Structure 1
Amino acid sequence: METQELIKALAADNQRSGMPMTLVWTGAAVIAIALAACVFFVLLGPRPDITSAMQTLRFPFKIVVAIALAASSLSALRALSRPETEPRDLLPPLIVAPALIAIAVLTELIAMPASTWSARLVGTNSLVCLSFIPLIGIGPLALLLLALRYGASSHPAVSGAAAGLAAGGIAAAFYASHCTDDSPLFVATWYTMAVAILAIAGALAARRVIHW
């Protein structure tokens, strides 16, 4: 049997048996978000000035970027659970969140004096960010990797990385409501590094977790 025929056969078999994939991914996403919310509210909670922060542009923007990353990554992850999916076909929606933050960074560099760039990039919560986004996201990552086992991904490492991005986006959206560093320079640096930790962990774990 040729490779393409094998892939089609696996995809057809996956659709015929087991739990419906729509139910699997809807349930995984809902539970992942609920788990992240529980960890977030137990360990951190929203910042005290969240009401006034919502009146600014930078604070809600970083939450929107995190949600965009989570949504696009979850969509890509669901597609990657099918063996016929090619990762390169999923790149356009995944570029949305990086493009938004790149535009915000460029705007900040233009609008703010160069003497303030370093302080805005370093912020006051860099280590907290690097610690708590992975901590909030590790549970959702595990759930999403388990959901992948109901599919038949032909790209385990890429699928695992997508699971890490999705978990990181969910975690970052919650953490952003606690963090008082709202500069796009800070978000582009530290949030990206924290999410990358989950993406790398997902890619490495997927090789062991996903079997078909």
Structure 2
Amino acid sequence: MKTDDLIAMLASGPDVAAAAPPGTHWRAAGTVGAGLLASVALMAMLLGVRPNLEQLALLPDFWIKVGFVACVCLAAWHVSRRLCVPGASTRALPLLLALPVLLMWALGAIILNEAPPEQRAELFWGATWRSCPLLIATLSLPILAAVLRLMRQLAPTRLRLAGAAAGFAAGAMAALVYCLHCPELAASFIGFWYVLGMLVPTAIGATLGPKVLAW
């Protein structure tokens, strides 16, 4: 059963149904929920919730940040699920992942262009650029473990790609958790440094995928 020939057959066979096994959704919710709770606990222990979060939540930029990260989460989770179903179409998945990022980059570019020249560096670098990607990557680790465990119970065939998708989904969910602490609101900051933080677990997942997802 655990052979490259079987994987290739499942990936290319015309009669394979692109449907997840029964019970997958409940199992996914429980497994990923546990990883997400562990990430929240880690954030609370290491960083804490920002004391002025209520004031930040009154600002439109805060909800633009949260909305962007939430859209990336949904897109990355959908991609991860599709890569666990042999025979499922994946043609549109890169565009699905790229769309929210490109929109945030466009918004950031507009804001930078309209800002006075002396403020542009601050809008891009913020005050936490050194720690932001590392903290997102750290918070993603329990979620990455949960998503990889879930994928291992399913049937991914492109193991490195599936691992990378798991890492990106974990990074996006960790970024959502990190929003409870992060003071940064500029679209140019979020579009670059948050995405960089998501790419760290993506690289980790791509490395681990062939090792932990083989079946």
Q: CA deviation at 1:58?
A: 1.5
Matching residue of 2:85? 82
Q: CA deviation at 1:46?
A: 2.1
Residues 1:163 and 2:179 aligned together: no
Please give the per-residue CA displacement for 1:1-50, whole angstroms capped at 9, x wherever unaligned: 998864459956x967xx73222322222222212111111111221211
Q: With the length of structure 1 as denominator, give the TM-score of the two structures.
A: 0.88
- Cα gap change, 1:6/1:131 in structure 2, threshold over 3 Å: closer, same or farther? closer
Matching residue of 2:96? 93
Name the stretch that deviates more: 180-189 or 141-150: 180-189
Matches within 5 A, 1:17-32: 20-32=23-35
Contact 2:8–2:157 at 8 Å: present in 1 too?
no
Q: In structure 2, list runs of 5 or more residues that go unmatched.
A: none
Please give the per-residue CA displacement for 1:53-78, whole angstroms capped at 9, x wherever unaligned: 11112122111111111111111111
Residues 1:59 and 2:57 aligned together: no
Matching residue of 2:51? 48
Residues 1:134 and 2:171 aligned together: no
Contact 1:11–1:152 at 8 Å: present in 2 too?
no
Contact 1:10–1:152 at 8 Å: present in 2 too?
no
Tell me the distance in 2 between the aligned counterparts of 1:26 and 1:138. Answer: 17
Please give the per-residue CA displacement for 1:91-113, whole angstroms capped at 9, x wherever unaligned: 33323321331232123123312
- Cα gap change, 1:100/1:35 in structure 2, threshold over 3 Å: closer, same or farther? farther
Name the stretch that deviates more: 97-106 or 65-74: 97-106
Classify the secondary structure of the residue corresponding to 2:150: helix
Matching residue of 2:208? 205
Contact 1:160–1:205 at 8 Å: present in 2 too?
yes
Aligned pair count reads 209
Tell me the distance in 2 between the aligned counterparts of 1:176 and 1:15. Answer: 32
Contact 1:160–1:206 at 8 Å: present in 2 too?
yes
Matching residue of 1:195? 198
- Cα gap change, 1:174/1:2 in structure 2, threshold over 3 Å: closer, same or farther? closer
Question: What is the one-letter code of the residue matched to 2:70?
Answer: I
Matches within 5 A, 1:105-116: 105-116=108-119
- Cα gap change, 1:55/1:111 in structure 2, threshold over 3 Å: closer, same or farther? farther
Tell me the distance in 1 between the aligned counterparts of 2:23 and 2:16. Answer: 13
Contact 1:21–1:150 at 8 Å: present in 2 too?
no
Q: CA deviation at 1:200?
A: 0.6
Contact 2:36–2:173 at 8 Å: present in 1 too?
yes
Give the root-mean-square deviation of aligned CA atoms.
Answer: 2.5
Classify the secondary structure of the residue corresponding to 1:95: helix
Q: With the length of structure 2 as denominator, give the TM-score of the two structures.
A: 0.86
Tell me the distance in 1 between the aligned counterparts of 2:122 and 2:171. Answer: 25
Q: In structure 1, list runs of 5 or more residues that go unmatched.
A: none
